[in-house]
Amino acid sequence: MKATTRDVNGIEIIKLDGKITIGAGDQQLRDVIANAVANGKNKILLDLSGVTTIDSSGIGELVGSYTTATNRGGKLKLLHLPAKLNELLHVTQLITVFEVYENEDEAVKSF
Protein backbone atom coordinates (compact mmCIF):
# COMPACT_ATOMS: atom_id res chain seq x y z
CA MET A 1 0.00 0.00 0.00
CA LYS A 2 1.11 3.53 -0.73
CA ALA A 3 -0.04 6.56 1.24
CA THR A 4 0.35 10.17 0.15
CA THR A 5 -0.62 13.05 2.39
CA ARG A 6 -1.50 16.66 1.80
CA ASP A 7 -2.94 19.43 3.91
CA VAL A 8 -6.07 21.32 2.88
CA ASN A 9 -7.23 24.04 5.30
CA GLY A 10 -5.74 22.20 8.28
CA ILE A 11 -7.22 18.86 7.26
CA GLU A 12 -4.82 15.98 6.63
CA ILE A 13 -5.96 14.23 3.46
CA ILE A 14 -4.39 10.81 3.16
CA LYS A 15 -4.77 9.06 -0.20
CA LEU A 16 -4.36 5.32 0.00
CA ASP A 17 -3.43 3.22 -3.03
CA GLY A 18 -3.17 -0.56 -3.23
CA LYS A 19 -4.10 -3.32 -0.83
CA ILE A 20 -5.11 -2.96 2.80
CA THR A 21 -4.76 -6.57 3.80
CA ILE A 22 -3.01 -8.53 6.52
CA GLY A 23 0.71 -8.14 5.99
CA ALA A 24 0.24 -5.78 3.03
CA GLY A 25 -1.05 -2.46 4.20
CA ASP A 26 -2.76 -2.95 7.55
CA GLN A 27 0.33 -1.99 9.54
CA GLN A 28 1.09 0.86 7.12
CA LEU A 29 -2.39 2.29 7.66
CA ARG A 30 -1.92 2.10 11.43
CA ASP A 31 1.45 3.86 11.16
CA VAL A 32 0.17 6.62 8.85
CA ILE A 33 -2.71 7.44 11.21
CA ALA A 34 -0.50 7.23 14.31
CA ASN A 35 2.01 9.61 12.72
CA ALA A 36 -0.67 12.08 11.70
CA VAL A 37 -2.18 12.12 15.19
CA ALA A 38 1.27 12.35 16.82
CA ASN A 39 1.98 15.40 14.64
CA GLY A 40 -1.13 17.15 15.90
CA LYS A 41 -3.33 16.40 12.91
CA ASN A 42 -6.76 15.81 14.41
CA LYS A 43 -8.83 16.26 11.24
CA ILE A 44 -8.13 13.31 8.95
CA LEU A 45 -9.79 12.47 5.64
CA LEU A 46 -8.94 9.07 4.16
CA ASP A 47 -9.25 9.03 0.37
CA LEU A 48 -9.83 5.37 -0.45
CA SER A 49 -10.34 5.74 -4.21
CA GLY A 50 -7.09 3.91 -4.95
CA VAL A 51 -7.73 0.91 -2.68
CA THR A 52 -7.86 -2.23 -4.81
CA THR A 53 -8.38 -4.86 -2.09
CA ILE A 54 -9.35 -4.84 1.56
CA ASP A 55 -9.80 -7.78 3.92
CA SER A 56 -11.06 -8.17 7.48
CA SER A 57 -7.69 -7.03 8.81
CA GLY A 58 -7.94 -3.87 6.71
CA ILE A 59 -11.49 -3.23 7.94
CA GLY A 60 -10.19 -3.73 11.48
CA GLU A 61 -7.47 -1.14 10.87
CA LEU A 62 -10.02 1.36 9.55
CA VAL A 63 -12.00 0.93 12.76
CA GLY A 64 -8.80 1.14 14.82
CA SER A 65 -7.77 4.31 12.98
CA TYR A 66 -11.17 5.83 13.66
CA THR A 67 -10.85 4.94 17.34
CA THR A 68 -7.31 6.33 17.55
CA ALA A 69 -8.35 9.66 16.04
CA THR A 70 -11.54 9.91 18.14
CA ASN A 71 -9.79 9.06 21.41
CA ARG A 72 -7.35 11.92 20.80
CA GLY A 73 -10.15 14.42 20.20
CA GLY A 74 -9.98 14.17 16.43
CA LYS A 75 -12.18 13.21 13.53
CA LEU A 76 -11.56 10.63 10.82
CA LYS A 77 -13.80 10.60 7.76
CA LEU A 78 -13.79 8.54 4.56
CA LEU A 79 -13.78 9.73 0.96
CA HIS A 80 -14.39 7.91 -2.34
CA LEU A 81 -15.22 4.41 -1.09
CA PRO A 82 -14.67 1.70 -3.69
CA ALA A 83 -17.87 -0.30 -4.34
CA LYS A 84 -16.61 -3.44 -2.59
CA LEU A 85 -15.59 -1.54 0.55
CA ASN A 86 -18.90 0.32 0.56
CA GLU A 87 -20.69 -3.03 0.41
CA LEU A 88 -18.56 -4.46 3.24
CA LEU A 89 -19.26 -1.46 5.47
CA HIS A 90 -22.99 -1.84 4.84
CA VAL A 91 -23.01 -5.59 5.53
CA THR A 92 -21.07 -5.13 8.77
CA GLN A 93 -23.15 -2.06 9.77
CA LEU A 94 -19.89 -0.09 10.10
CA ILE A 95 -21.27 2.42 7.61
CA THR A 96 -23.14 3.91 10.59
CA VAL A 97 -19.82 4.58 12.36
CA PHE A 98 -18.02 6.47 9.61
CA GLU A 99 -18.90 9.72 7.89
CA VAL A 100 -18.52 8.95 4.18
CA TYR A 101 -18.25 11.45 1.34
CA GLU A 102 -18.03 11.26 -2.44
CA ASN A 103 -17.02 14.91 -2.88
CA GLU A 104 -13.77 16.23 -1.42
CA ASP A 105 -15.01 19.81 -1.06
CA GLU A 106 -18.05 18.66 0.91
CA ALA A 107 -15.87 16.44 3.08
CA VAL A 108 -13.45 19.29 3.84
CA LYS A 109 -16.32 21.66 4.70
CA SER A 110 -17.83 19.05 7.04
CA PHE A 111 -14.97 19.47 9.52
CATH number assigned to the domain comprising residue 61: 3.30.750.24
Please give, one letter per residue, the 3-state secondary structure of the chain.
Answer: CEEEEEEECCEEEEEEEEEEECCEEHHHHHHHHHHHHHCCCCEEEEEEEEEEEECHHHHHHHHHHHHHHHHCCCEEEEECCCHHHHHHHHHCCHHHCCCEECCHHHHHHCC
pLDDT band at 24 (very low <50, low <70, confident <90, very high): confident
Boundaries of domain holding 72: 2-109
pLDDT (tens digit per residue) in 44-76: 999 999 999 999 999 999 999 999 999 999 999
* pLDDT reported for residue 23: 87
Number of domains in the chain: 1
